[in-house]
Amino acid sequence: MWKYINDSQIKEFLLSLFLINESNDKKHLKKLYAISNNLKSNYIIYKIKKKNGKYRYIYEPTPTLKHIQRQILNNILNNKKISKYAKAYHKNISLKDNALPHIGNKKILKLDIENFFDNIKFWNIYKSCFPIEYFPKEIGMLLTYLCTIDDHLPQGAPTSSYISNLVMKNFDEKLGDWCEERKINYTRYSDDLTFSGDFKVKEVIKKVNELLKPLDLKLNKDKIHVITSNKAQLVTGIVVNEKTQLPKKYRDKIRQEIYYIKKFGLENHLKYLKITDKNKYIMNLKGRILYVLQINSLDKEFQKYLTYINKSFN
């Protein structure tokens, strides 16, 4: 399609994407190429220690690069469909949506993709997001560079989450179809894969590994969990044994706080906790109650708590 496009037309195409707030065309193009050629200097990199002792790197783009990435996200990437099995990083989808398909099942299998963002590589991003069918190669490559660093997705860039869903789309569709044929429920929340039903665990793991291989991705062998129905079955932090519900420990903490507020009064309760900002505390407590109700809107106990907070502390 782009076989006969010339340099002038490529520049016009690139300018039509409005990636930078710059009215001068030459300066516009110069800035784009300068940033793409010096990506490391356009990120602030944070090193965060994980529970296992290893480190996670968070990349915060400079304001100009962040603006470019948001333009790419809003004007290009968001127009591309992702799989129905992907339950993270897009509008009108929540943790509850990831949990709902897995309610009341005999068995749940939870898998984790190892170093997910770090292992989503340049060429898979290019092919999934900016392919030659829709972009001249020079522009597709440039857009991919602007969304990557050191050949992978930077965790912290506004484009990375949605790109991960686009890269995983074919994987999700193939795995989802395979699961539906076997009456297995499947969802993916970022790097967390969840399966529920009655199935052979080794068979599912074998299929997942087979489909991950073309993407140069692999499972974290230390994060394979099978949960039967006689235990609390948690899917992205939500219990799904019989209905969607937050864990008992989470709800008990709120119950305890409401009890102390009613028995000793808010001022004494906050004094004991050494909390000085009353409004901030109430907003936090109310937010946690609303979260319980978001996951289980029929919880009458927490409906009463919400009414009590609204009447007592507005």
Write the CA distances from 301 to 174, 258, 289, 305, 307, integer angstroms. 42, 11, 10, 7, 10
Nearest Cα neighbor of 171 from 300, 97, 94, 85 is 85
CA distances for 9 relative to 24, 76, 135, 136, 213, angstroms:
17, 19, 12, 10, 38
The DSSP secondary structure of 228-276, one letter per residue, reads ETTS--EETTEE-SSS-B--HHHHHHHHHHHHHHHHH-HHHHHHHHT--
Question: pLDDT of the chain along its 314 residues, tens only?
Answer: 666 788 888 899 999 999 998 889 999 999 999 999 999 999 999 988 877 778 889 999 999 999 999 999 999 999 999 999 999 998 889 899 999 999 999 999 999 999 999 999 999 999 999 999 999 999 999 999 999 999 999 999 999 999 999 999 999 999 999 999 999 999 999 999 999 999 999 999 999 999 999 999 999 999 999 999 999 999 999 999 999 999 999 999 999 999 999 999 999 999 999 999 999 999 999 999 999 999 999 999 999 999 999 999 97
3-state DSSP assignment of residue 55: strand
The alpha carbon of residue 299 and the mean position of all alpha carbons in its chain are separated, in whole angstroms, by 27
Given this model, what pLDDT does residue 281 score? 97
Instruction: Identify the pLDDT of residue 314.
Output: 76
Residues 250 and 20: their CA atoms lie apart, in Å, by 45
Neighbours of 164 (CB within 10 A): 25
pLDDT of residue 2: 65
First and final C-alpha spacing in the chain: 62
Q: Are 184 and 195 in contact (CB under 8 A)?
A: yes
pLDDT in tens, 33-46: 999 999 999 999 99
Nearest to 104 by CA among 235, 249, 225, 251: 235
* Residue 231, Cβ density class (10 Å: 0-12 exposed, 13-18 middle, ≥19 buried): exposed
Q: What is the largest CA-CA distance in the chain?
A: 79
Q: What is the pTM of this model?
A: 0.91
